[in-house]
Amino acid sequence: MTLIWGTNYSIVKHAFTEMDPQAFNAARMLIGSIVFLAIIYALQWKWARAPEKDGDDRGRKAIASIFHSPAPITRRDWLGLIGLGIVGHFLYQYFFIGGLAATSVANSSLILAATPVVIALMTAALGQERVNALHWLGAALSMGGIYLVVAEGGSDAVGSLRGDLTMFAAVCCWAIYTIGARALMVRHSPVGVTGVSMTIGTVLYVTAVLPHLTRLDWSTVGVGAWVAVVYSALFALCVAYTIWYAAVRAIGSARTAVYSNLVPLVALGTAVVALGESLSALKIAGAAAVLVGVALTRVGRTKLAIPAEE
Contact 133, 300 (CB under 8 A): no
Note whether residue 155 is domain-resident: yes
**What are the tens digits of pLDDT across the range 283-306?**
788 778 877 877 776 665 545 455
**For the chain, percent helix, then strand, then coil, each to nearest 5?**
80, 0, 20
State how far the alpha carbon of 117 is from the alpha carbons of 64, 91, 241, 258, in Å. Answer: 38, 20, 21, 14
Report whether pLDDT(49) > 70.
no
Total of domains in the chain = 1
pLDDT at 11: 93
pLDDT at 290: 76
7: nearest Cα among 255, 273, 245: 273
pLDDT at 222: 93
**Dihedral-angle region of residue 298 (phi above 0 means left; psi in -120 to 50 means alpha; beta otherwise):** alpha
The 8-class DSSP code of residue 219 comes to: G
**What are the tens digits of pLDDT across the range 7-45?**
999 999 999 999 999 999 999 999 999 998 888 787 777
Its pTM stands at 0.81
State the chain's mean pLDDT as an integer.
Answer: 80
Note whether residue 309 is domain-resident: no
Its sign, for the CA torsion 159, 161, 165, 171, is: positive
Note whether residue 139 is domain-resident: yes
Note whether residue 310 is domain-resident: no
Note whether residue 138 is domain-resident: yes
Average pLDDT of span 41-57: 63
pLDDT at 53: 55
Q: Which domain holds residue 210?
A: 2-10+21-53+63-298
Note whether residue 306 is domain-resident: no
Note whether residue 308 is domain-resident: no
Instruction: Give CA 72 to chain center in angstroms.
Output: 27
Note whether residue 303 is domain-resident: no
Report whether pLDDT(126) > 90.
no
